[in-house]
Structure 1
Amino acid sequence: MSKMTKTIIKLTVRDVRFPTSLEQHGSDAMHTDPDYSVAYVVIETDQGMQGYGLTFTVGRGTEIVVCAVEALSALVVGKSLEEIVSDFRGFYRLLTSDGQMRWIGPEKGVIQLATAAVLNAVWDLWARSEGKPLWKLLVEMDPRKLISCIDFRYITDALTEEEALDILVKAQTGKQQRVDQMLKEGYPAYTTSCAWLGYSDQLLKQLCTDALNDGWTKFKVKVGADLKDDIRRCSLIRQMIGPHNTLMIDANQRWDVGEAITWVTRLAEYKPLWIEEPTSPDDILGHAAISKALAPLGIGVATGEQCHNRVMFKQFLQASALQFVQIDSCRLGSVNENLAVLLMAHKFKVPVCPHAGGVGLCELVQHLILFDYISVSASLDNRMCEFVDHLHQHFRSPVVIQNAHYMPPKDPGYSCEMLESSVQTHQYPQGQVWKKLQ
């Protein structure tokens, strides 16, 4: 631990935005003109080491997350890395349970997005100080130490510390073989890049053809704005990918409960594996009703990219309201809270298929899903990680995809260090890219 006696002396945060709305990248039924953006955090220590973290947003409002990060920074500066990781649960609670700032959460919304950005930077710093990529830091960590990073408050009725420890201890068997397998084969991915809602049929066909040629077998289509349009596009994609490849559909919270059931029933002939975010992300019982209604059609419900915290995931699992858990690296309180959700999902026997894409989400979440397979689930059944082919060129250690699989990162850290030149040119509103667009 001696190499961790580094004191954090500075935290900076910047508003970095990419004008993806110009070409309709990321467009869906609810978010029609997203500009993929991040609140980008850098923490510095007295020994000159840096940790990098971010939280993903879609443009306007990023400045609010930046303000929240600045408000939390006073709780971080002055702490040593050793102090933080020796009681990571306590540090997590320090950020999420501040007697005054908690009021504007608690553990949800902007304040939790800001918490994730800060903690992502702390985890990056820890992994760098150990000279390991984050997934390896997690996989090689003593199970008791790992459990000590998780806040079990509010979830012990679904998962106790003892149960979580038991899951990790049992998964020690065969762990090295799974590490070797991942290093050789990578983790299975699916693509969302072919069928954003704003794309023309011609572009959709071209991207689909290219993806098939590159070895992709799992495709997600955005739906929810117009039923006739959805029928046409789903038919087109199913024709292109054939009957044996996997199709998923994603409504991005567009429908009421009854409407979701009716709409998806009309799309059932295209055999989607799941409908993602069919209704309000907060409506646990609504998701349960949709899950029950669609089960006879063989269509599951997937959600989680806008699920606030571990408590909501607990209830989704308890209510059998989802058949695929979608964690997000920045919506929840960083690695700490995602660990809790991965362990709960395993206990409830629900596969985890993370949300990714955006800016940096692929880079981040690959570490968590590698840990899930190697140290928790030991299964690839019905499991895959989202991939979106946008903006990876702005990262120092971009994701590596081979044959539609995520290859495990080798560089130390959490893979979210951005190139300084990219940060400067895309900083909002003073960066060169934005000055040109004004």
Structure 2
Amino acid sequence: MKMTTIKKVETRDARFPLKPGEGVDAVHSEPIYSYAVTRLLTDTNDAATGIAFTLGGGNQLVCEAIELLTDRLVGQEIEDLMSRWGTVSREMADHPQLRWLGPHKGVVHLALSSITNACFDLWAKARQVPLWKLLIDLSPEAIVDTLDLTYLEDVLSREQAIELFNSNRPGREDRMEVVRDGYPGYDTSVGWFAYADDLIVANAKKALDAGFTAMKLKVGSADSARDLRRAELVRDVVGDSARLMFDANQAWNLPRAMDMCQNLADLNAFWIEEPTHPDDVLGHQKLAKAIAPSAIALGEHVPNRVMFKNFIQANAMQFVQVDAVRVAGVSEFIAISMLARQKGLKVVPHVGDMGQLHQHLVLFNHISLGHERVFLEYIPHLRDHFVHPAHVEAGIYRTPDVPGATCDLKEIENT
């Protein structure tokens, strides 16, 4: 195994304006899909890319935080670094001055996401394997060494984490079939909030023709009748057999969410996503009880493992939408996936346009942790900017086979 040492860390503020209407929801009306990028340059030909996702404004602040946190990485050999990443990442998150800006959320945590993802990308490239392959080949002990389990010890100790992997080893060979078969996707781009009714109808038909059997519609209008009309239009197009999800992007207060979730549940909603403020654990708990057996999906704006622990313990979510470019990268994603697995909850990552990274992590979740194969969000608006864009065919993510996390951006690689 070759030795790969980090010689330099660079950051890039990468922003990609969207076409009119793309990415618009009930709360985020002017999105610019953007990445705070960490680049690790090495003493070999390997260079790594890590990304955290923003909507444009403030992206440069995340890049500045990356620069403040990464001085300790220069001179580190990647195998040695990742053997103690849980400790290293904890020290970064608990920076004695920058921690005041969080803790474990906001600009600094997004910076840690980008840094962590770059380190995992470099680790996989140094071993010349895709990220999913790196992760499933690691021993339980090696994986747990990459995790910061601080504040989870009451529910997930190191010993319990290792046992969780060992207890899910039976059936692993059968679950490896997902590598051959691919991972199902669902289409979010059919129903952006600003799209006209005729466009969402046409998009829903197009998604069905492309092989998708699940899709999502944005809701959260000031006029409830608009949401329900659009929801009925899409349900009429896709029929009763397709899975249809509704995403309010935190637009409703709790009383409004109670009313709207009940109405949407009548349309056989597979889940209702972010119905109210993402910090309101007890509000989601109350809502989940009220609309059962309809399901709550949550996680796009849940910033760290401690908040996820609270939502999971409160039975306030049924679908865990942890995002590896929102929490502290791959390692915190894995810790949260383990919390969900303990409770038998399904993990369906919030993807943004990060199917690039999450296409690896859902394979790991299924193969190594025994998570159910559900589906992975598909939003194609930025695929042309990636060197190795996700390959989605007939509604299925095909397994990536190039080394690394497939997050390299053309605009950066070509400079």
Range class of TM-score, shorter chain: over 0.9
1:399 aligned to which of 374, 390, 399 = 390
1:212 aligned to which of 196, 208, 211 = 208
Aligned partner of 1:121 in structure 2 is: 118
Aligned partner of 2:365 in structure 1 is: 372
**Is the Cα contact below 8 Å between 1:357 and 1:389 reproduced in 2?**
no
**Is the Cα contact below 8 Å between 1:7 and 1:81 reproduced in 2?**
yes
**Is the Cα contact below 8 Å between 1:182 and 1:407 reproduced in 2?**
no
Distance (whole Å) between structure 2 residues aligned to residue 171 and residue 406 of structure 1: 24
1:169 pairs with 2:169: no
1:84 aligned to which of 81, 85, 109 = 81
Distance (whole Å) between structure 1 residues aligned to residue 35 and residue 6 of structure 2: 22
Q: Mean alpha-carbon deviation: is it higher for 279-288 or for 78-87?
A: 78-87
1:28 aligned to which of 22, 25, 34 = 25
Distance (whole Å) between structure 1 residues aligned to residue 297 and residue 347 of structure 2: 9
Q: How far has the Cα of 1:47 moved from its partner? A: 2.5
Aligned partner of 1:432 in structure 2 is: none
Distance (whole Å) between structure 1 residues aligned to residue 386 and residue 42 of structure 2: 22
| Coordinate RMSD, CA, aligned | 1.4
Aligned partner of 1:47 in structure 2 is: 44
1:157 pairs with 2:144: no
1:411 aligned to which of 386, 402, 410 = 402
Aligned partner of 1:191 in structure 2 is: 187
**Is the Cα contact below 8 Å between 2:212 and 2:394 reproduced in 1?**
yes
Aligned partner of 1:8 in structure 2 is: 6
**Is the Cα contact below 8 Å between 2:132 and 2:360 reproduced in 1?**
yes
What is the one-letter code of the residue matched to 1:192? T
1:334 pairs with 2:329: yes
1:308 aligned to which of 303, 324, 336 = 303
Distance (whole Å) between structure 2 residues aligned to residue 339 and residue 77 of structure 1: 25
What is the one-letter code of the residue matched to 1:308? P
Residues 184 and 86 of structure 1: is their aligned pair in 2 closer, same or farther, counting only changes over 3 Å? closer
Aligned partner of 1:230 in structure 2 is: 227
1:148 pairs with 2:139: no
Distance (whole Å) between structure 1 residues aligned to residue 29 and residue 72 of structure 2: 37
Aligned partner of 1:387 in structure 2 is: 378
**Is the Cα contact below 8 Å between 1:171 and 1:378 reproduced in 2?**
no
Distance (whole Å) between structure 2 residues aligned to residue 284 and residue 149 of structure 1: 28
Aligned partner of 1:436 in structure 2 is: none
What is the one-letter code of the residue matched to 1:3? K
Q: How far has the Cα of 1:334 moved from its partner? A: 0.7
Q: Deviations over 1:207-233 (max 9, x none)?
A: 111111111110111000231110110
1:349 aligned to which of 344, 354, 368 = 344
Distance (whole Å) between structure 1 residues aligned to residue 265 and residue 173 of structure 2: 41
3-state SS in 2 of match to 1:36: strand
Q: Deviations over 1:388-428 (max 9, x none)?
A: 1211111111111122121111000011001136887xxxx
Q: Mean alpha-carbon deviation: is it higher for 348-357 or for 234-243?
A: 348-357
What is the one-letter code of the residue matched to 1:218? A
Q: How far has the Cα of 1:73 moved from its partner? A: 2.2
Q: How far has the Cα of 1:292 moved from its partner? A: 0.7
1:288 pairs with 2:281: no
3-state SS in 1 of match to 2:189: coil
3-state SS in 2 of match to 1:391: helix
What is the one-letter code of the residue matched to 1:357? G
**Is the Cα contact below 8 Å between 2:351 and 2:376 reproduced in 1?**
yes
Length-normalised TM-score, structure 1: 0.92
2:317 aligned to which of 314, 322, 335 = 322
Distance (whole Å) between structure 1 residues aligned to residue 280 and residue 156 of structure 2: 22
Q: How far has the Cα of 1:96 moved from its partner? A: 0.9
Distance (whole Å) between structure 2 residues aligned to residue 399 and residue 72 of structure 1: 30
Distance (whole Å) between structure 1 residues aligned to residue 145 and residue 51 of structure 2: 23
Distance (whole Å) between structure 2 residues aligned to residue 324 and residue 394 of structure 1: 30
Q: How far has the Cα of 1:176 moved from its partner? A: 2.5
What is the one-letter code of the residue matched to 1:331? R
Q: How far has the Cα of 1:319 moved from its partner? A: 0.4
Q: Deviations over 1:160-200 (max 9, x none)?
A: 22222112112222223322x11221112111010000111
Distance (whole Å) between structure 2 residues aligned to residue 294 and residue 171 of structure 1: 32
Distance (whole Å) between structure 2 residues aligned to residue 268 and residue 49 of structure 1: 49
What is the one-letter code of the residue matched to 2:79? E
**Is the Cα contact below 8 Å between 2:130 and 2:405 reproduced in 1?**
yes
What is the one-letter code of the residue matched to 1:307? V
Q: Deviations over 1:144-167 (max 9, x none)?
A: 111111111101112222222112
Unaligned 5+ segments in structure 1 are 425-438
Distance (whole Å) between structure 1 residues aligned to residue 390 and residue 413 of structure 2: 17
**Is the Cα contact below 8 Å between 2:232 and 2:267 reproduced in 1?**
yes
Q: How far has the Cα of 1:378 moved from its partner? A: 4.6
Distance (whole Å) between structure 2 residues aligned to residue 93 and residue 175 of structure 1: 31
**Is the Cα contact below 8 Å between 2:65 and 2:111 reproduced in 1?**
yes
2:131 aligned to which of 129, 134, 141 = 134
What is the one-letter code of the residue matched to 2:90? R
Distance (whole Å) between structure 2 residues aligned to residue 248 and residue 379 of structure 1: 18
